[in-house]
Amino acid sequence: MKNDELRVFLGGDVFGPVGMRCAASLLPSFLAAEGVDFCVMNGENASAGIGLSPEDGEALFRCGADVITGGNHSFEKRDFWPYLDSEIRALRPANFPSEGVPGRGWGIFEKSGFRFAVINLQGREDMGALDCPFRAADGILAGLPPDVIPLVDFHAESNEEKEAMGLYLDGRAAAVAGTHTHVQTADERLLPKGTAYQSDLGMTGPMRSVIGSDPKIAVKRNVTQVLYRMELPDAAGALRGLLLSLDPETRRPRSVTRIEIPEVSP
């Protein structure tokens, strides 16, 4: 702990080779400088911009991630499925159907003398049809021991759905942070009952891009409506996310700080 406070970092979607490079070059020094006690990184697009490989999962853990969360691309790479079953620190959304789905959607992890419950959920507005994330959150939170600090990664397209989730869990979760859109929002705040909230943590990946892809091709696709193959730019990137300061006695957030740390141009 730093200065009698518990510090948690929630990192935005690691995207492609630039995102992995940023995680390797920026995350360890940031965690050390800020005295971060617990780190969660969303890694569902870390490997070549879609899905996550076991090798990149291990690399993110070496960079300092304590837990890796997922999203709608969690099952893109078939060799990742057994990894989801064997590695308890790698999560996929909890509101996938319960039968026949690899992995788990939440877990309790102990570090720095505290226990953290990381809960991964996926939205339904403009996304695939899954079980209700609100009811899934209810079921998980109801069974948690009172000393556990619940942290929610809500991987969703709609900011309306994300804000609704934040308010729905206000006072029951320590933090509700959105992922998926790759665009960092400036609405970080403590909700009325004390839950830390941000609609989207942003992307750990290339800054000069369109949500991670080559901007020239993305513009051309939009202008022509021809589905040109998207490519990943080799550009300077940034580490993005949300830093939480919690009271170690009450385990409730005191403050939130939006984080964006650019790397030096390669």
CB 150 within 8 A of CB 119: yes
From 73, 155, 180, 182, active-site residue: 73
Can you give the chain as a three-state secondary structure string? CCCCCEEEEEECEEEHHHHHHHHHHHHHHHHHHHCCCEEEEECCECCCCCCCCHHHHHHHHHHCCCEEECCCCCCCCHHHHHHHHHCCCECCCCCCCCCCCCCCCEEEEEECCEEEEEEEEECCCCCCCCCCHHHHHHHHHHCCCCCCEEEEEEECCCHHHHHHHHHHCECCECEEEEECCCCCCCCCEECCCCCEEECCCCEEEECCCECCECHHHHHHHHHHCCCCCCCCCCCCEEEEEEEEEECCCCCCEEEEEEEEEECCCC
Bridging pattern class, strands 175-179 and 196-198: parallel
Measured distance CA(242)–CA(13) in Å, rounded:
12
Annotation marks residue 73 as catalytic: yes
Catalytic center residues: 73
